[in-house]
Structure 1
Amino acid sequence: MFLFNIRLIEKLKIEMNEFLNLKTQYKFKVIFSKSLRKQIKTRGVCSYCKKPNTGFAWCDKCDPGRFLKEGKTSGNPEIDKFIHEAQLKTSTFEDNFYNIEWIPYDRFQDIKQIGRGGFADIFSAIWLDGKPNRLSKSKKLPVHFTVVLKKLKTSDVQAFINEIKILNECSNNIFLTKFYGITKDPQKEGYIMVMEHANEGDLRFFLKKNFSNLKWKEKLHILSEIAMNLDTIHKTNYIHKDLHCGNILQFRVDAKNTNKFQTKITDLGNAQLISSSRFSNASYVCGILPYIAPEVLNGMPYTFESDIYSFGIIMIEITTGRQPYNNVPHDENLALRICNGLRPRVAKGTPQCYIDLVNQCLDAIPENRPKANELSNLILEWIYCKKGDPNLYSFEMHKEFIEADEFFPQGEIIMPPEEIYISRHMRFTNLPEPRNSIRVQVENFEVSNPELIEHLFNAEVQKRDQDVIEIAEAL
């Protein structure tokens, strides 16, 4: 009771100070206007013009570009312009879509490296000027919180600007990682992105940690959110081009409910507009080999459909808890076999409807693959369909997943060396036209991956030789 009274007194003091900070003309208006009092109570007063804020802790007249007026420039005119233009679209200090800030590097503490990608190093840090204090309705007395600092390995400013522009264009969706702003270590080259911190790490780490406890409903929830993420990116006319479990983040959204998570796609550093993809350099591919579509390995441009292929590989990874092709070299031989129709194996007990969808995503003909919104709609049907639903087919699928929880994938989950699953540039020549072969198979632990790959490859060679003989005899 005593603590409650202290908080109430503190709140009343803050509200009184807000009214006292007003310009004289507004002090009289606030006496007679209930709506104005409510506006000030919820949004606060601008510390610059002394007028009621237009949004929570935000004045659309004074706040856009304030960092420039205060001399907090990034040192790069194009980056300053980008931040200013984004702030002009902002309506509130808590605007997760447009309120991008220039953040001095000394406002971060406890900086630790937590990840290393092919093209960027990842750090965690405490942002001292983080979330605004809801009680004070101002940018003062912020709540410190953890963020991620992403530093590109290249010092190319244009590459950095391209990525932050894509982030900003795609960020109008709750399923994409929040982008808070930009900073720079004065002692080093290159700018740094300040982004949302995933308290459960990436999907690869999440599966390793939680796989034995995950039910099919939770696996499907993860996939539905990935599909919705991807649909958002595609509707903005971008291709992700590097979709894998290391670029998918997991967030615990309820501390009390250990099974409540949110899934978000990150790392749009390689993303590209669909309109410019066909003009891109096809002499090399970029990514992690098992997730790259066979037509891309074969020199064709990235498309929405190549992202769907990557999604299909993730679907397989979620059934097994293991990374695809985790004990064979990721080299030209594997690329050759993928073009010849080799696909990773799903776990025993995986529902047939799920395997069928994986096969559609991994079809060698890109046009046969489903769209991202079709994937999310179908997976949501599997999750939420109930007995008595008019769509009997969907209910039967729903039952398959409930029954599949009785199976637990065999085999130990071993994490291969990290460097194998880091995005990199690759170049392949003289690969065959992509084709469908045996489709996705169920795991058989009596045969190892290398043995299976060799067996399949030899079978394909024998079949092709036989076809040549039959054609020759016919002639």
Structure 2
Amino acid sequence: MPRCSECGKKVSNGYCKPCNSAHWWDNLQNWTSGNANIDGLIWDSQLNADERWKTLEWIEYSNLKNIEYIAEGGFGIIYKAVWIDGPIKEERIRKRRYFSWSRYKNMVSCWNTEKSEWNRHSNWTVAIKKCRKATSASLEFLDEMKNNSNLNLNDYVNRIYGVTRDPLTNEYAIVTAFQNGGSLRKVISENHNKLSWKKIILMLSDISRGLAEIHSRGYCHKDFHSGNILNSIYGNIYPMIGDFGLSRPMNESVTDKVYGVIPFVAPEVLSGKKYSKAADIYGLGMIMYEIISVEPPFVERDYDQDLALVICKGERPLIPEYAPEYYIDLMTKCWDPIPANRSTADELWNQFNDWGNMNLDGLQNMGFTYERESRWKKRLTAVKESPRPIKKSHNSFASKHLDYSDYISHNNSLYLKETNNIT
């Protein structure tokens, strides 16, 4: 284990909590977000973090450059920018004046003692999520900040760096890691000629592991769809779970409103029941469907209350005949109408991990054959070259408020009466 270059104590991940907390403390009076609640969240993260990626920062808007529009979601607008200072990094110390090199062979530091400043990745590309009308720190904005901070966990969850504020609009914005591959939907479209059974299995292993980490902390994502799976591409594809605007602890609920993209929202949630971890699993099942079918579920239909109703009655998207049987079994278990019958995130991660560790012959024996893969790749190419027109109701697959529970309840009652009359 490396040692802190300042105090010489052993540290994990190159971050010495006592030394670095002292540096954060010394800087508390040098900045403010203009909002006491936001300041408090940032202070808490800085003074209590035991790893550098758990810290949040106030990032002056003037410290961001080359800001460009990327996309608009259900709850805000996403921009790409360059953070001039950049996030904190650890550096290996090759030479120290005060310690014997033979005794401290592996020394690291996030703090530059000679310059009295943090070591940083300067000119770092980031994403900025501007929340609509966030001119004051609303409960929803503070929740998203808090949840993002608590879920700055590992390589499978998109990291949040801090908060900024646009001086022209006075709107607060969240600064996060930028993933160069974009959403899962974009990755499938633009990398159609590079994908394979093995690659999608490894991607699903990472996604399910990230979800398992979220669930292990007692959280639900609550808006789990392919648009919120962000990907970095450096040779391989590395997916990360992002956008925790609706995430919160299982025992905490500030709103009864349902939000999401209809095909990815579990039927019990559409019907007005409480969100659960099993509802996230339903969303993951639909993500599996989008990967294997190359198009979003129910892409041929309007995303409206009538679709929500038939989903609640048990309708699911048509599965391509080339899909491997084991894949189908796992996917359909995720979208079982009874939440208790669905797999857990840990179970999915273990299964995808087992498949990912198999050699090609092993995968062939599991039904992931070359012939099936060839047919899947042909469909990938066909959809890329001749994409289906997107319906207006899909709204670029942005999450929106879904107030269908009364409509579903009324029509389900009529359906049950008709069924009883027939029998």
Same fold, judged at TM 0.5 (above): yes
CA contact (8 A) 1:364 1:434 kept: no
Q: What residue is the counterpart of 1:122 in the other structure?
A: 78
CA contact (8 A) 2:335 2:342 kept: yes
- The 5-angstrom pairing of residues 101-250 of structure 1 reads 101-131=57-87, 134=91, 138=112, 139=118, 143-155=122-134, 157=137, 158-250=139-231
Letter in 1 for 2:421: V
Q: What residue is the counterpart of 1:73 in the other structure?
A: 32
CA contact (8 A) 2:21 2:47 kept: no
Task: Tell me the distance in 2 between the aligned counterparts of 1:375 and 1:163.
Answer: 27
Q: What residue is the counterpart of 1:296 in the other structure?
A: 269
Q: Cα–Cα, structure 1 residues 434 and 385, in superposed 2: closer, same or farther, change >3 Å?
A: farther
Q: Cα–Cα, structure 1 residues 433 and 320, in superposed 2: closer, same or farther, change >3 Å?
A: farther
Task: Tell me the distance in 2 between the aligned counterparts of 1:276 and 1:374.
Answer: 25
For the residue of structure 2 that corresponds to 1:149, the secondary structure is: strand
Q: What residue is the counterpart of 2:106 in the other structure?
A: none
Q: Cα–Cα, structure 1 residues 142 and 304, in superposed 2: closer, same or farther, change >3 Å?
A: closer
Task: Tell me the distance in 2 between the aligned counterparts of 1:415 and 1:249.
Answer: 23
Q: Cα–Cα, structure 1 residues 128 and 101, in superposed 2: closer, same or farther, change >3 Å?
A: same
Deviation at 1:468, TM superposition (A): 2.9
Given the alignment of the two structures, is residue 431 of structure 1 paired with residue 404 of structure 2, yes or no?
no
Task: Tell me the distance in 1 between the aligned counterparts of 2:373 and 2:341.
Answer: 30
CA contact (8 A) 2:21 2:48 kept: no
For the residue of structure 1 that corresponds to 2:246, the secondary structure is: coil
CA contact (8 A) 1:126 1:145 kept: yes
Gaps spanning 5+ residues in structure 1: where? 1-34, 44-53, 436-460, 471-475
In the TM superposition, what whole-angstrom CA distance separates every residue of 1:22-65 from its partner, at most 9, and x where no partner exists?
A: xxxxxxxxxxxxx99x936999xxxxxxxxxx958994354223
TM, length-normalised to structure 2: 0.81
CA contact (8 A) 1:308 1:369 kept: yes
Task: Tell me the distance in 2 between the aligned counterparts of 1:316 and 1:125.
Answer: 33
CA contact (8 A) 2:305 2:407 kept: no
Q: What residue is the counterpart of 1:88 in the other structure?
A: 47
Q: What residue is the counterpart of 2:20 in the other structure?
A: 60
Q: Cα–Cα, structure 1 residues 466 and 166, in superposed 2: closer, same or farther, change >3 Å?
A: closer
- 2:291 is aligned, of 318, 322, 334, to 318
Letter in 1 for 2:73: G
Deviation at 1:89, TM superposition (A): 2.5
Percentage of matched positions with identical amino acids: 30
When the two chains are superposed, the root-mean-square deviation of aligned CA atoms in Å is 3.2
Task: Tell me the distance in 1 between the aligned counterparts of 2:220 and 2:120.
Answer: 40
Q: Cα–Cα, structure 1 residues 427 and 387, in superposed 2: closer, same or farther, change >3 Å?
A: closer
Task: Tell me the distance in 1 between the aligned counterparts of 2:352 and 2:21.
Answer: 45
Letter in 1 for 2:25: G
Q: Cα–Cα, structure 1 residues 176 and 105, in superposed 2: closer, same or farther, change >3 Å?
A: same
Task: Tell me the distance in 1 between the aligned counterparts of 2:251 and 2:269.
Answer: 16
Q: What residue is the counterpart of 1:438 in the other structure?
A: none
Gaps spanning 5+ residues in structure 2: where? 94-110, 113-117
Which deviates more, 415-424 or 236-245?
A: 415-424
Deviation at 1:384, TM superposition (A): 1.4
Letter in 1 for 2:401: H
CA contact (8 A) 2:59 2:163 kept: yes
In the TM superposition, what whole-angstrom CA distance separates every residue of 1:352-411 from its partner, at most 9, and x where no partner exists?
A: 11111111111111111010000110111122135998xxxx8832x5355532323545
For the residue of structure 2 that corresponds to 1:123, the secondary structure is: strand
Task: Tell me the distance in 1 between the aligned counterparts of 2:22 and 2:248.
Answer: 35
Task: Tell me the distance in 2 between the aligned counterparts of 1:122 and 1:174.
Answer: 21
Task: Tell me the distance in 2 between the aligned counterparts of 1:388 and 1:335.
Answer: 41
Task: Tell me the distance in 2 between the aligned counterparts of 1:108 and 1:432.
Answer: 49
Q: Cα–Cα, structure 1 residues 141 and 221, in superposed 2: closer, same or farther, change >3 Å?
A: closer
Q: What residue is the counterpart of 1:50 in the other structure?
A: none
- 1:416 is aligned, of 373, 386, 390, to 390
